[in-house]
Structure 1
Amino acid sequence: MKTLKIHSSFLILLFVAQHSSLNAQVVINEFSASNLNQYVDDHSDYEDWIELFNAGGSSVNLTGYYLSDDSLQNTKWKFPTGTSITANGFIRVWASNRNVSVGANYHTNFSIKQTKNNPEYVVFSDASGVRIEVIRITPKRKTQLGHSYGRTANGGVTWGVFKTPTPNASNNSATSYIGYADKPDFGLIAGFYPTAQTLSITTTEPSSSIRYTTNGTLPTAASPAYTAAINVTSTQVVKAITISANSNVLPSFIEFATYFINSTHTLPVVSIAGDNLDVLANGDKAQKPLGSFEYFNVNKQRTANTYGGFNSHGQDSWSSSQRSLDFASRDEMGYNHSIEEVLFNTSPRNNYQKIILRAAGDDNYPADHQTSNLGSAHVRDAFVHNLSVHGKLNVDVRRGSKCVVYLNGQYWGVYDLRDNPDDHDNTSFYYGQDKYHLYYLETWGTTWAEYGGPAALNEWSALRTYILGNNMATASNYKYVTDRLDVTGLVDYVLINMFTVCSDWLNYNTAWWRGTDSTGTHLKWGYAIWDNDATFGHYINYTGIPDTSPTASPCDPENPVLDDPEDHIGILVKLRQNPDFNQYYISRQIDLWNTVFSCG
């Protein structure tokens, strides 16, 4: 019996030793949260990724092992059954938040944010939940666009930055760098000043130089060297980088600030700046520049700043000289994951990854200073959407607030800051529906699935066919529909467009959607309003409504001559077969006429 106990103890110790050895030989070898447009996954997306390396001479079964972005919840995502990493081999895992695995394409249920106020982690744990390795993404481990952070030699103890990452491949022959030079410090905070100012710039980086620009463009090694304080005599955007004399140290992140000299505004001010940003804003839609974004509140304090990408926004409105722009803050660039500020007084939301700088150009169509645009006001769309919010209509909207925009230090005009209901950050915040749990359809000339693909289109088509092909006066048929369609939202969608005499909807600017995550809300199909510039007798009658005057009949939306390719009005008319729905439709119209849309 004593001999048996000794043998049992020996076997247990041997198992533990072997298990620990297997754990130690598989390590996190490299990861990147900066993959904006380099390495594409099996869904044609560019996602964060984590690479594991097996430093041992035998394969390791990773079934049941874990990865996580949270040091307090290290069993967040489990490797599926049958996952194995070969001797001296690699496995790349996409940190995409998809939580699916097909073949060698592994997708976690989390993504990596490198710019969060509370730093995230990359955690690797064994099948018992024991942590093998924990890496905290501190500011020193943030990477610039397209870079990765990894071991300078496979499985080694020294880490560095790779300008050219090596996912699923050896790090041994790749060029690595110690890190980035220390970012410059500005001796003057961004903001508004009544007179010229003097700006001093310093850095703690040894054996280095500071390069800067004052026109909002990206500083490089060829930019002017900082040798003495800069005299800021007019409004300008100053950007600076530190360049180390050590070739193993990469140039720093950019420090940037806008200084307004003798400028007074009562609205919030947005300063945007970047290479070729003016070329984009002056009409070249092919440009997709990267640049900075700064938000100054009505008290003239900078309360948000970040870096990201710009592109054109709008179609007909680009015939005007003041054009709309989209901005997306990019965590991949290492500055900030979002614009961290409350932008609209109708919402508590305080972070926006994407935002629209909308010039309301369709409310100025067809172009600047033409007699045919008589009555344009640059306010219709935002007014209609904000009115819907204040009236608590059951539709999604683009919230709006006015601001002044400066571009590369130049005054660019009054714009609307707008959020976007068809952005998954929006649906996630308000309804708990992320981009992988959306069926989102849109019509603009043609109909497509912004999210959800063919499954979304097919589900909607089947529901529409059912409604149009069955008697809605039958209680069971009507219940089948109301279990799937928010009919009150359909009513509000029709009425807001009817009351404002909209002539650019149904065949254009129409959006409807539902969420598929049962833990969230908005599980029924509902509607979002979109581009309501063609209201109150202005713009082009694309939809073919019979009358765009203030005396238009409230029954006009039910007119069969309307261009309505998805038959939303046909659905409304069919639902009116049901007496309960019909009474609600009439009562809701009377209610809104005497409250939200009353002129009294």
Structure 2
Amino acid sequence: MSIPFYKRVLRVAAPLLALAALLAAGAWCVSELPDLSANAGRTVVINEVCVKNLTGLTDADGETGDWIELINLSGEDIVLDGWGLSDNPDRPYKWTFPEGTVLSGGANNIMVLFADGKNGYDAAGSLHTNFRLSRKGETLVLTDPDGGTVDTLGYDSQEYDLTYGRLRGDASRVGVLAAPTPGSANSTRFLEETVQPVDLGEVEFSAQAGFYGEAFELTLSCDDPDAAIVYTLDGSLPTTSSNIYTGPITIDSREGDANEYVSLPSAFLGEWVVGYACDYAPDPVAKATTVTACVYKDGVLGEAVTTQTYWVGLENYTLPVVSLTAEADDLFGPEGIYVPGQSYYTLRKYGSTDRVGNFTSSEKIDARIQILDTDGSELLNADTTVRVSGGWSRLDSVMKNLHLKLQDGATSGLLDQAPGGDALDTLVLRGSGNGSAYTSLHQDAFLCNYLYGLDVGTQYNQPVVLFLQDEYWGVYTVRESKNTDFFLRHYGIEEDDLICPGTTPDEQAQPEKSAFGLGVDALDATTPEGMAWVEENVDVDEYIRYIIAQMYTYNADGLYNGGNNSILWKSAEVDEDNPYADGRWRFLLNDLDATLIDVEVDPFAYLLENEFSFETHETAPWYSVIDNLFQKLWASAEFRQRFAEEYRREMETIYAPENIVPAFDAWAELLRPEIGQDLARQKVGVTELAPLADQILGYQMEPWEMNVEEWEEQVDYVRDYFTRRADIMLDYLDQYLQLAEEGAA
């Protein structure tokens, strides 16, 4: 399958340029107008960007934030009220211009904005956006009030103090400019012009991606006899300096090849990068070979890039296989998104002890993804962007979560059991490193799948085997992303109508949450007026199901941690034709890794014996109103009866051992054939620096390894939990109902 290829910029290795005669920040003046003859039809363009502003333009605070320059080519003043600027074409109004912003069409037709996240005007009157620019490259989009795209500008990874933009006099030509010119006309020369790919046809492969028993010769061909083919074997995109195809390529077994990436240090322990004292995956893991090729003619690369991944000498896996490849440095280099990298070492150099690394950012990189089904058939072959996601797992796990956004209209049918899941363009790869309670059991994914039809906001999951940069990375689960699209697919709520703290803009969501929290603080659920307020503001039936699921699993990193990992949402608009668009709060189950730990644990005590007022806890970032609401509602005899009825029904059906135990056994059986290799990948040895870590941290580094028998013990423990928990839950319900009745008497 061919992948449309664009965004090709030849990287420039150039020294930092000294900026001469920088204009004042936010200035919009130019001594002479550019030649507009080559810009027919253009009004406002994104003219120049500086992504790594180190020593150049400063704002009113003396800081060198990244910046974006706009130029008005229309010849008339343009009022920018309602215009949007964004670094995400799928979210075009990420930042909007303040009311009354005018971009002149005369001599002062250039505007410089700082893209540094400060949002608003500074003391010098310069505008700042609410987003920052990605150092790895992205696409900026300028949108008018009617939703029309006025201009876009895509750029690749840039060097410090260089700028990327349009050639003066011809806005259709872009590249790395000869000199930065914020606030004045762009240079008439490029250090390196972006070479636009052309349609030269596709490279044909003699073998499709898949598993092969023995080595074989791969031949590449194209329709044009006068063209060449360039290719890579390391996951990177071909360039004009890549290998030129001259004959068959031998695709051989890589058994025993030393690990290049899977063993790299990519986690923290206190103030120590664990990898220096620990040897991750000390034994060679399974490996693949990815061939990426395109046609090359007359110094120009073809726009169609074809990628195929091959496994030689390996048997098919019993789970679908995901192959994810990119420029190796984008993942594992000094600025790579998967490692501590430059961010960590720079901060340490200047004395910071914050647990910050490259992997704590939201940087996106370009990559390619292939998914093969268990029968070897291809499910997906596409371009994608990738970023690291998750919370603490970014810092302490070597099997990090990855968030993927498929490009060029590509969709995946891997999650076809989810609403709209047969055509998803956003996927999350979730590693077993999140399993804080159990290693490689993926209990979060199991519980989400099992409770999927209960309408408590779970994400559907599909276990897969991940190969990252052609190295075996372990068993992951592919799941839906809880983005705005999730709410549209599941509940029919458009992004503009959604209020969800942490997902939708804070300026609307947080005041709504605060008002709800203070309303719960003032609630007296023992009165008709109090219960009426609850019914008006909360989907009580959904809330009861949500609470029961949290209590049954005893989510220690959720409900039983001050509401950590809680997600609440509502529709801002009321639509009588949509039962979810009624303006009432609802709740989503989220992050069920720290669950199923103690079958005997009391699910009521924490919720009824602690103080949860929103006024007291609202400064705590993890706090939600969910615990407080339950405590207030439990005082109501009406609510207790309603809650108890649903509670008993679910313990006798959904959570009954005869139902949940077979489902869990089927889940364990699904994972079992792959667990041996998965656990071997997670093996950790120690290096000769381990004693030094002990001296510095007072922490003794120990080797770690888990075998299949120990994994089976985990399975038995969780099976016992599911076998006994429902009866234990019913006993606790009776106990606390009796206490409530005695207290009321």
**Secondary structure of 1:429's match?**
helix
- The match for 2:210 is 192
Distance 2:441 2:204 in 1: 39
Q: Which of 230, 248, 255 is the matching residue for 2:306?
A: 255
Summarize the Cα distance change of 1:412–1:64 in structure 2 as closer, same or farther, 3 Å threshold.
closer
Summarize the Cα distance change of 1:404–1:529 in structure 2 as closer, same or farther, 3 Å threshold.
same
**Secondary structure of 1:467's match?**
helix
2:588 alignment partner AA = A
1:460-471 maps to which residues of 2 (within 5 A)?
Answer: 460-471=513-524
Distance 1:52 1:82 in 2: 14
Note if contact 2:294-2:301 (Cα within 8 Å) is conserved in structure 1.
Answer: no
- The match for 1:382 is 445
Distance 2:127 2:655 in 1: 53
Pairwise CA distance, 1:339: 4.2
Pairwise CA distance, 1:596: 0.9
Distance 2:111 2:486 in 1: 30
Summarize the Cα distance change of 1:221–1:572 in structure 2 as closer, same or farther, 3 Å threshold.
same
1:197-236 maps to which residues of 2 (within 5 A)?
Answer: 197-202=216-221, 210-234=229-253, 235-236=288-289
Pairwise CA distance, 1:269: 1.4
Distance 1:513 1:169 in 2: 47
1:443-592 maps to which residues of 2 (within 5 A)?
Answer: 449-453=502-506, 455-506=508-559, 507=561, 509-518=564-573, 521=580, 523-537=583-597, 548-549=598-599, 551-556=600-605, 558-561=607-610, 565-566=623-624, 568-592=626-650
**Secondary structure of 1:305's match?**
strand
Q: Which of 302, 309, 323 is the matching residue for 1:271?
A: 323
**Secondary structure of 1:416's match?**
strand
Distance 1:90 1:415 in 2: 52
Note if contact 2:233-2:290 (Cα within 8 Å) is conserved in structure 1.
Answer: yes
Summarize the Cα distance change of 1:344–1:104 in structure 2 as closer, same or farther, 3 Å threshold.
farther
1:27 alignment partner AA = R
1:363 alignment partner AA = G
Note if contact 1:181-1:244 (Cα within 8 Å) is conserved in structure 2.
Answer: no
Pairwise CA distance, 1:271: 0.5
Pairwise CA distance, 1:211: 3.4
Note if contact 2:320-2:465 (Cα within 8 Å) is conserved in structure 1.
Answer: yes
Distance 1:402 1:518 in 2: 37
1:359 alignment partner AA = G
Note if contact 2:499-2:572 (Cα within 8 Å) is conserved in structure 1.
Answer: no
- The match for 2:500 is 440
1:4-83 maps to which residues of 2 (within 5 A)?
Answer: 27-28=42-43, 30=45, 53-54=72-73, 56=75, 59=76
1:130-149 maps to which residues of 2 (within 5 A)?
Answer: 145=156
CA deviations over 1:93-118 (Å, ceiling 9, x no partner): 99xxxxx99999899xxxxxxxxxxx
1:265 alignment partner AA = Y
1:358 alignment partner AA = R
Stretches of structure 2 lacking an aligned partner (at least 5 in a row):
1-38, 58-64, 85-95, 114-118, 130-140, 254-287, 341-356, 618-622, 659-745
Summarize the Cα distance change of 1:183–1:428 in structure 2 as closer, same or farther, 3 Å threshold.
farther
CA deviations over 1:480-505 (Å, ceiling 9, x no partner): 23222222232222211211233222
**Secondary structure of 1:571's match?**
helix
1:459 alignment partner AA = E
1:345-356 maps to which residues of 2 (within 5 A)?
Answer: 345-356=417-428
**Secondary structure of 2:500's match?**
strand
Distance 1:93 1:257 in 2: 43
- The match for 1:326 is 402
Note if contact 1:191-1:302 (Cα within 8 Å) is conserved in structure 2.
Answer: no
Distance 1:33 1:358 in 2: 37
Distance 1:204 1:79 in 2: 53
Summarize the Cα distance change of 1:319–1:348 in structure 2 as closer, same or farther, 3 Å threshold.
same
Summarize the Cα distance change of 1:315–1:79 in structure 2 as closer, same or farther, 3 Å threshold.
closer
Which TM-score applies when normalising by structure 1?
A: 0.66
Summarize the Cα distance change of 1:295–1:88 in structure 2 as closer, same or farther, 3 Å threshold.
farther
1:383 alignment partner AA = F
Distance 1:311 1:91 in 2: 36
- The match for 2:384 is 307
Larger RCO: 1 or 2 (CA < 8 Å, sep 6+): 2
**Secondary structure of 1:483's match?**
helix
**Secondary structure of 1:27's match?**
coil
Q: Number of matched residues? A: 502
Distance 1:218 1:304 in 2: 15
Pairwise CA distance, 1:434: 5.7
Note if contact 1:404-1:415 (Cα within 8 Å) is conserved in structure 2.
Answer: yes
- The match for 1:292 is 368
Note if contact 2:47-2:69 (Cα within 8 Å) is conserved in structure 1.
Answer: yes
**Secondary structure of 1:179's match?**
coil
1:573 alignment partner AA = Q
Q: Which moved more, 1:380-389 or 1:166-175?
A: 166-175
Pairwise CA distance, 1:65: 12
- The match for 1:361 is 433
Distance 2:143 2:449 in 1: 44
CA deviations over 1:202-224 (Å, ceiling 9, x no partner): 56789875432213234444433
**Secondary structure of 2:42's match?**
strand
Stretches of structure 1 lacking an aligned partner (at least 5 in a row):
1-23, 40-45, 68-76, 95-99, 108-120, 366-372, 442-448, 538-547
Distance 2:647 2:608 in 1: 17
Note if contact 1:269-1:295 (Cα within 8 Å) is conserved in structure 2.
Answer: yes
Note if contact 1:146-1:163 (Cα within 8 Å) is conserved in structure 2.
Answer: no
Distance 1:502 1:379 in 2: 14
Q: Which of 167, 188, 204 is the matching residue for 1:173?
A: 188
Distance 2:529 2:317 in 1: 59
Give the RMSD, CA atoms, in angstroms: 5.2
1:497 alignment partner AA = Q
Distance 2:100 2:510 in 1: 34
- The match for 1:86 is 105
Note if contact 1:278-1:407 (Cα within 8 Å) is conserved in structure 2.
Answer: no
Structure number with higher helix proportion: 2
Summarize the Cα distance change of 1:209–1:405 in structure 2 as closer, same or farther, 3 Å threshold.
same
**Secondary structure of 2:421's match?**
coil
CA deviations over 1:290-349 (Å, ceiling 9, x no partner): 42222223442143422312325452586565x13213326xxxx536644342423333
- The match for 1:424 is 484
2:467 alignment partner AA = Y
- The match for 2:470 is 409
Summarize the Cα distance change of 1:529–1:224 in structure 2 as closer, same or farther, 3 Å threshold.
same
1:569 alignment partner AA = D
- The match for 1:17 is none
Distance 2:574 2:181 in 1: 38
Summarize the Cα distance change of 1:152–1:36 in structure 2 as closer, same or farther, 3 Å threshold.
closer
Summarize the Cα distance change of 1:361–1:32 in structure 2 as closer, same or farther, 3 Å threshold.
farther
Note if contact 1:273-1:408 (Cα within 8 Å) is conserved in structure 2.
Answer: yes
Note if contact 1:344-1:399 (Cα within 8 Å) is conserved in structure 2.
Answer: no
Note if contact 1:28-1:124 (Cα within 8 Å) is conserved in structure 2.
Answer: no
Note if contact 2:388-2:394 (Cα within 8 Å) is conserved in structure 1.
Answer: no
Distance 1:193 1:589 in 2: 49
- The match for 2:293 is 240
1:475 alignment partner AA = P
Distance 2:103 2:337 in 1: 51
